[in-house]
C-alpha cells in the first residue's frame, strides 16, 4: 500500500480498515465462472474473454443485471493485478 494514492479526505482509520481487508479476497476461475469469497461471503458470475495479449486479458462478468469488464494484467504465471481506481490490487495463485 505504500504506492497507493488516496484522496485528501481519507482518514487514517479508513486506510487502516482498507489495509486490514487486503489479502482476504479469494478469487477462483473455472472455464466459465469466476468465484469469489471474502469474509464468508461468496459470489459467482459467468464470464467470457473479450480480448487478450501476451500479458493481459479482458473478461466480461455477468453480475446480477449488468456486465462488468475486468482487465487482468499478468506479471508472471503466478501473479496478476487489477486496477482499483488509480491503484493496483495484486493477486497470486494458490493451490487449494
How far the first Cα of the chain sits from its last, in Å, is 26
Give me the pLDDT at residue 6, please: 84
Percent of the chain, pLDDT > 90?
A: 62
Number of domains in the chain: 1
Is 57 a residue whose pLDDT tops 90?
yes
In contact, 73 and 91? CB cutoff 8 Å: no
Strands 79-84 and 87-92 come out as antiparallel
Whether 31 maps to a domain, the answer reads yes
Give me the pLDDT at residue 60, please: 97
Cα–Cα distance list, 33 to 5, 36, 37 (Å)? 31, 10, 13
Whether 5 maps to a domain, the answer reads no
What is the domain range of residue 28?
Answer: 12-92
Q: 12-21: per-residue pLDDT in tens?
A: 888 888 888 8
Is 1 a residue whose pLDDT tops 70?
no
Whether 68 maps to a domain, the answer reads yes
Amino acid at each position: 500500500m505504500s504506492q497507493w494514492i488516496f484522496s485528501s479526505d481519507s482518514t487514517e482509520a479508513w486506510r487502516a480498515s482498507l489495509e486490514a481487508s487486503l489479502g482476504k479476497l479469494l478469487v477462483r476461475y473455472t472455464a466459465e465462472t469466476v468465484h469469489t469469497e471474502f469474509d464468508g461471503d461468496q459470489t459467482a458470475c459467468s464470464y467470457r474473454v473479450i480480448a487478450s495479449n501476451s500479458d493481459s486479458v479482458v473478461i466480461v462478468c455477468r453480475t446480477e443485471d449488468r456486465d462488468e469488464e475486468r482487465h487482468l494484467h499478468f506479471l508472471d504465471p503466478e501473479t496478476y493485478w487489477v486496477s482499483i481506481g488509480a491503484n493496483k490490487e495484486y493477486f497470486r495463485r494458490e493451490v487449494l
